[in-house]
Amino acid sequence: MENNLKVEVVKWIDEYDSLTMIREKVFIEEQKVTSQLEWDGMDKEAIHFLAFKDEKAIGCARAFVIEYCMQLGRIAVLKEYRGEGIGSALIEKAMTTAKLNQLSAIYISAQCHAIDFYKKFGFEVTSDIYLDAEIMHRDMTLNF
């Protein structure tokens, strides 16, 4: 990971502005997810990962711990920073966090276009294709 790229575990209340800005740009503006679906009221209870490059917030993800497993989602990188390893850094931080907390697996609902990206980390497809927010997804699991 480059010196000017870092991923931190943050609290919703502390990084609300950055987290909402990234998710609004990626999910609501770019992918046309409705505000009602995106803002599901679960963010206050979630674990949030925030990626910074040169101190600017550029990517995020959120997670929940459910019965020794991490449910990871809302993985987003601002368009102008894609292809620079930001998504990989977010996944690696989530994996490290899960292992440090002795969790047994990470589950994701992956957009179909990103399945090969997640496979690089060892995730395996565990479902058929389904629509979520009018976007094709498949469930994936990474077991530790």
- pLDDT score of 82 more than 60: yes
- pLDDT score of 66 more than 90: yes
- pLDDT score of 79 more than 70: yes
- pLDDT score of 3 more than 90: no
Which domains are delineated in the chain? Answer: 5-143 (3.40.630.30)
Whole-number average pLDDT of the chain: 96
pLDDT (average), residues 103-128: 97
**What pLDDT, on the 0 to 100 scale, is given for residue 125?**
98
pLDDT band for 1, please (50, 70, 90 cuts).
very low
pLDDT (average), residues 51-69: 96
**What pLDDT, on the 0 to 100 scale, is given for residue 100?**
95
- pLDDT score of 112 more than 60: yes
Question: For residues 82 and 103, what is the distance between their CA atoms, to the nearest angstrom?
Answer: 29
Question: For residues 128 and 65, what is the distance between their CA atoms, to the nearest angstrom?
Answer: 24
- pLDDT score of 2 more than 90: no
